Amino acid sequence: IVSMVCTSLSLLCLFISFVVYCTFRPLRSLPGKNNMNLIVTLFLAQLLYLVGAGRTEIVGVCEAMAIFIHYFWLAAFCAMNV
């Protein structure tokens, strides 16, 4: 329950951050675009974790969720290195 609530709160904050970056043009500089990339990858990684963590009944769906979750976490860490 705590994980689901905290992840949902994080998703809300990430969404608000992305909207702010999209709304204000001065924030869309090169570092700002890197932050937007990080926000999107974190949002997708957490969303897929929240939605797909319990999807283990069908092997193909489970593998696809694992691959996409892993990819988006790797993309988030790579975005932090730029």
Per the prediction, the chain carries an average pLDDT of 93
- The more confidently predicted of residues 52 and 20 is 20
The 10s digit of each residue's pLDDT in 13-50 is 999 999 999 999 999 999 999 999 999 999 999 999 99
Is-contact 72 41, C-beta < 8 A? yes
Nearest residue to 40 via CA among 3, 15, 65, 74? 15
pLDDT of residue 74: 96
Q: Helix 30-52 vs helix 59-81: angle between axes, to the nearest 10 degrees?
A: 160
Whole-structure pTM value: 0.89
Residue 39 CB neighbour total at 10 angstroms: 21
